[in-house]
Chain A
């Protein structure tokens, strides 16, 4: 028998876990629409066919909505409401029914023609949200047409498959999760795509951003999906399967053992207590971070509130969410980041920029729109009555921004006082250090704020001038680049000189290879995705601060990241031999993108 070749594909690890199983290639249903004439006496029947298709579509969407509400919470489920509203648009459907009777054409043809008109108008809009709505309209149209053609929705299929798709809409992700899906692998998407966020909430291993996984995989192909390191292996050899089964077992066993660490403090062997906290986006995640043994929340991304909506939430709505989180995290603290929009994140008002990452984002947007910013500050202040809320600003690049933002905090406090609303008078105010200029100015900025949080993802990209989403240069994005390590050391030193604590909330904080280094450089708080918490805790507990300091000092002497990383891996293996290290993807660094295998 011919065994097909094993193909390894690298993507982005979106949700952790190792699964081995058959692929189910999910192709979006793009309905085929013929223009057909119908006999006058069949017109009523055709209209009836459409009516029942609309009813079925509405039922489907209601189900998705209620399922989404249970699984991921009301705020995230709102994305399905607009679609339901369109289905109950009587003006739209009355004109479709009329056209069917008058023009004597088949229902799907008229539905397509009528809805496409609106879709076109929306697509032409300059407004990004309007164009997003066009996708909603497209989804609704395809759903109705599929129901007219009475094709079953492929949301139920044999359990135990790995879903492979170009992309997944939130509706797909939610629906598939009902079928004991093993995992998700998609061509498109990043760590922050809807599908990635949802699969993490749903606890389903996922690798996204694989670019062309759908061209390599056919349904029923055997796949290995490693959601820890972002690897998918197509047609794995028996050896590979055995190896990954072992790795999966190791990880599970390891996670169980780590579970025992849950209630122990993140403390070095010589007694230095480290704050180990989690990054979250939604209130529902707090319970999970608790289960993983976390102290608090080191980064709450308020942008979760903006998901799937077109307007900024009101102060009241924000207040309710912030309050809920502060209460759930209590007695620990939560660091709330004000909206970081722009860059690759939600833009509330579309604005074409050639270089969005160097453009209007983070604190820049906030300061240009003081009203929106003040509403958010007031909401966060009001949520701070238990004195466990800290607030920080993203994308700060100079002192003036820090001072201006602080003035607005004072203004927000004054207005609350005037309205006799209570808040924490001493709520701590900090900044993200993620722009190189802010890192350089760390000493001056530290005098103005109560704490720092290093955002490594952007800091590394800006510092090394590398877009890590760009395949050609992404291998230059390296946490252990000497420039990165020196910058982190500088930030921590300047903060400590001014007696303020430093947290890190970027991915580097959750990389086990970086833990000894960061500990040695004096980081006070590691804020990580909940899944890696126990692992980082284990490393912290395996070493003395003195030794970590020596390791960090030595790591800074290497002139290349490869040497530094190898050195750190060596120490990590010695101190915690049972930590399963993610394999560093081995790419041929000299030739840019990998050669493509023949298919």
Chain B
């Protein structure tokens, strides 16, 4: 299991579109992927779950990966957060 804390950088936070990219990216990996925010833990492979987080810019999230390809999954997801979900094409 890997845990990693990140801060949301993109302006719009985890709204619908970023949430969709996140879920799509997570689906590529076998590892389980959970996000914890303010004590609420959600399955990050679920769009409705990620939408529920209402995570805006500056929010601190704990990402948790568990499974054989957890390292790759973690790197990919953290990269997505760092690039601000490729929002400013």
Contacts and interface: CB of A to CB of B under 8 A. Distances in A.
B49 A311 contact: no
A311 B87 CA distance: 10
B67 to A, nearest CB: 15
B47 A85 contact: yes
A82 B49 contact: no
B54 A127 contact: yes
A92 B88 contact: no
Interface residues on B, range: 20 to 34
A526 interface: no
B58 to A, nearest CB: 12
B71 interface: no
Nearest to B43: A91
Contacts of A311: 11-12, 15, 17, 87
Interface string B15-28: 11100100100000
B12 A310 contact: yes
Contacts of A129: 15
A563 to B, nearest CB: 53
Contacts of B47: 85-86, 88-89, 92
A92 B15 contact: no
A457 B61 CA distance: 45
Given A89-B46, A91-B45, A316-B89, A310 B16 contact: yes
B89 A133 contact: no
Interface of A is mostly: helix
Contacts of A312: 11-12
Interface in B33-89: 40, 43, 45-49, 51-52, 54, 56, 87-89
Contacts of B23: 89
Contact of A121 (B12, B20, B45, B52): B52
A311 B15 CA distance: 8
Given A310-B12, A311-B17, A133 B87 contact: no
B88 A314 contact: yes
Contacts of B16: 82, 85, 133, 309-310
A314 B51 contact: no
B48 A92 contact: yes
Nearest to A126: B54
Contacts of B54: 121-122, 125, 127, 130
Q: What is the size category of the interface that chain A forms with chain B? A: 20 to 34
Contact of B51 (A91, A133, A316): A133
A216 interface: no
A137 interface: yes
A137 B48 CA distance: 8
Contacts of A157: none
B49 A118 contact: yes
A311 B13 CA distance: 9
A211 B11 CA distance: 38
Most B Cβ at <10 Å: residue of A86, A91, A129, A314 = A91
A435 to B, nearest CB: 28
A312 B56 CA distance: 14
B43 to A, nearest CB: 5
A89, A90, A118 — most chain B CB neighbours (10 Å): A89
Contacts of B48: 86, 89, 92, 115, 118, 137
A515 B43 CA distance: 61
Nearest to A140: B48
A118 B52 contact: yes
B52 A122 contact: yes
Contacts of A86: 47-48
10 contacts: A82-B16, A89-B49, A90-B46, A118-B48, A127-B54, A310-B16, A310-B17, A314-B87, A314-B89, A316-B89
Ranked nearest first, the 3 interchain pairs of A and B with the lowest CB-CB distance are A91-B46, A311-B12, A310-B15
Given A85-B16, A92-B49, A125-B54, 13 more contacts: A82-B16, A85-B47, A88-B47, A89-B47, A90-B46, A91-B43, A91-B45, A91-B46, A92-B47, A127-B56, A129-B15, A310-B17, A311-B87
